[in-house]
C-alpha cells in the first residue's frame, strides 16, 4: 500500500472537506512563494553590502598605497639631495660655525634667524656673484657651486638657503672697455 500524505488521509477519513484542503494547499503555496521572494531580497541586500565593503576596502588600500608612494618619493628626494651635497660641497671645516685661520664671517638669514658661516674671501666674492650657494644638510650648512644648488633647488626649494643671481651687468661693462687702451700719460 502506498503511503498517503496527511492531507489525503484526512480527506479519505472525511475529517476535512475537499474545498478546505484546496484552500490550505493554496495558502501553503503562497507562503512558500513569499519566503522565496523574501530570501531573494535578503540575499540581494547582503550582496550589495558585501560589494560596498569591498569597494571601501579597495579605496582605503589605494589611498594607503598612494601615501606610501609619496613617502617613498620624499625619502628618495632627500637621499638625492644629501648625495648631491656630500659629493659636491666645498671644504669648510665642519660646516657649522667654525672659524678657520683665513676666514671671514658671512651672515645670512634662515627662518628670520641670522646665521653665520666662516668663508674665505674668494668664497665670499663667488657667493656674492652667484657662482656659489649655501645649502642646508641636516643641521649644517654647506657651500656648493651654483649649478649643484640649481639641481638641489629643483628637488627641494627649502634646502637652498642662499643662491644669489649672477651679476652679469658688471661683467658686461668690463668687457665693453676691455678693447680700449688707457693711456698712462694723461694729465688732467
Percent of the chain with pLDDT over 70: 79
The reported pLDDT for the residue numbered 103 is: 78
Reported residue count of the chain is 188
Burial of 183 (0-12, 13-18, 19+ CB in 10 A): exposed
Average pLDDT, the chain: 80
Instruction: List the alpha helices (DSSP H) in the chain.
Output: 6-13, 18-88, 121-129, 146-155, 168-176
Looking at per-residue pLDDT, the higher value among 30 and 176 belongs to 30
Sorted by where each begins, the domain ranges of the chain are 104-174
Q: Does position 54 have pLDDT exceeding 90, yes or no?
A: yes
Greater confidence, 38 or 81? 81
Residue 59 CB partners (closer than 8 Å, separation 6+): none
Please give the average per-residue pLDDT across 46-65, as a whole number: 91
- Among 14-28, 77-91, 106-120, the range scoring the smallest mean pLDDT is 14-28
81 vs 77: CA distance, rounded Å: 6
pLDDT tens digits, 146-170: 889 898 888 888 888 888 887 655 5
Record the cell numbers describing residue 1, joined without a space.
500500500
Residue 179 pLDDT exceeds 80: no
Q: Render pLDDT for 57-95 as a digit per residue (tens, 0 to 9).
A: 999 999 999 999 999 999 999 898 888 888 888 887 544
- Taking the CB of residue 10, how many other CB atoms lie within 10 A of it? 16
- For 133, residues 6+ apart whose C-beta sits below 8 A from its C-beta are 127, 143, 144, 145, 146, 148, 149, 160, 161, 162, 163, 164
In this prediction, residue 186 carries a pLDDT of 53
Whether 111 shows a pLDDT value over 90: the answer reads no
Residue 16: exposure state from Cβ atoms within 10 A (0-12, 13-18, ≥19)? middle
Distance of CA 60 to the CA centre of its chain: 16
Amino acid at each position: 500500500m502506498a503511503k498517503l500524505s496527511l492531507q489525503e488521509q484526512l480527506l479519505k477519513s472525511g475529517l476535512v472537506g475537499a474545498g478546505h484542503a484546496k484552500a490550505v494547499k493554496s495558502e501553503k503555496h503562497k507562503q512558500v512563494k513569499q519566503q522565496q521572494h523574501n530570501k531573494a531580497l535578503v540575499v540581494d541586500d547582503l550582496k550589495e553590502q558585501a560589494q560596498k565593503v569591498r569597494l571601501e576596502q579597495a579605496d582605503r588600500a589605494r589611498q594607503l598605497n598612494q601615501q606610501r608612494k609619496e613617502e617613498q618619493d620624499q625619502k628618495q628626494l632627500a637621499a638625492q639631495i644629501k648625495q648631491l651635497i656630500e659629493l659636491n660641497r666645498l671644504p669648510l671645516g665642519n660646516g657649522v660655525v667654525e672659524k678657520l685661520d683665513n676666514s671671514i664671517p658671512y651672515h645670512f638669514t634662515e627662518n628670520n634667524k641670522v646665521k653665520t658661516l666662516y668663508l674665505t674671501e674668494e668664497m665670499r666674492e663667488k657667493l656674492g656673484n652667484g657662482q656659489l650657494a649655501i645649502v642646508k644638510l641636516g643641521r649644517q650648512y654647506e657651500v656648493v657651486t651654483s649649478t649643484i644648488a640649481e639641481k638641489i633647488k629643483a628637488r627641494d626649494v627649502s634646502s637652498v638657503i642662499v643662491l644669489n643671481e649672477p651679476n652679469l651687468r658688471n661683467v658686461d661693462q668690463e668687457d665693453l672697455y676691455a678693447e680700449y687702451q688707457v693711456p698712462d700719460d694723461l694729465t688732467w
